């Protein structure tokens, strides 16, 4: 049945939701959330900052051509071995697709003192989109705050969504 579906060309079967598989921009791989150059925490895209959790936000840069995300498969390297995560159109507490953007929260690998001991590093990602091909980007990250949560921790932003 898969061979028949592939032979249909641009017509995708309804059960697959249609779409094109694309890759992440390779320039956006090989980084941790803390090391990525653009940081921002958005309450509509995973929120944050969180104690010991990073938020990764992906975007389709040409939304008019590329449409929206249907699913993403993201591969991370950790000291404990590779981790693969999937984001679908069914929202969950730690991940969701929001049109041409998608987000996921992952463990930051922080020790109780706030030191990075097992960070997730993005190694690869693919996405199924409703439009035509291209690549997608890691738009921004919201790195975890360090240390053990306690009232009045210094260094915590007073407005976490303002970045």
What's the burial of 59, exposed, middle or buried (CB within 10 Å: 0-12/13-18/19+)? buried
The pTM score is: 0.77
The rounded distance, in Å, linking the Cα atoms of 8 and 108 is: 43
Which comes out higher in pLDDT, residue 115 or 15?
115
Q: Which of 30, 77, 79, 38 is CA-nearest to residue 58?
A: 38
* pLDDT value of residue 145: 86
Q: Outline where DSSP puts E strands in the chain.
A: 20-24, 31-32, 53-59, 69-77, 83-88, 95-98, 101-107, 121-129, 135-142
The rounded distance, in Å, linking the Cα atoms of 97 and 39 is: 19
Residue 162 has pLDDT above 50, yes or no: no
Which comes out higher in pLDDT, residue 99 or 9?
99
Question: For 68-119, what is each residue's pLDDT tens digit?
Answer: 999 999 999 988 889 999 999 999 999 999 999 999 999 986 666 666 667 8
Provide the residue ranges of all domains of the chain, joining segments of one domain with +. Answer: 52-124+136-146
The rounded distance, in Å, linking the Cα atoms of 121 and 33 is: 7
Question: For 34-44, what is each residue's pLDDT tens digit?
Answer: 999 999 999 99
């Amino acid at each position: 049945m898969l061979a028949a579906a592939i032979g249909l060309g641009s017509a995708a079967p309804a059960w697959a939701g249609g779409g094109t598989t694309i890759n992440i921009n390779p320039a956006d791989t090989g980084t941790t959330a803390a090391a990525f150059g653009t940081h921002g925490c958005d309450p509509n895209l995973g929120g944050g900052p969180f104690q010991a959790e990073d938020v990764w936000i992906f975007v389709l840069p040409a939304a008019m051509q590329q449409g929206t995300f249907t699913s993403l498969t993201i591969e991370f390297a950790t000291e404990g071995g590779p981790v693969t995560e999937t984001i679908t159109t069914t929202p969950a507490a730690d991940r969701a697709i929001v049109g041409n953007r998608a987000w996921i929260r992952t463990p930051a690998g922080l020790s109780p003192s706030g030191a990075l001991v097992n960070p997730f590093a993005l190694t690869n990602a693919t996405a199924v989109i409703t439009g035509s091909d291209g690549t997608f980007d890691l738009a921004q990250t919201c790195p975890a705050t360090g240390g053990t949560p306690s009232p009045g921790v210094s260094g915590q932003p007073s407005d976490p969504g303002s970045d």
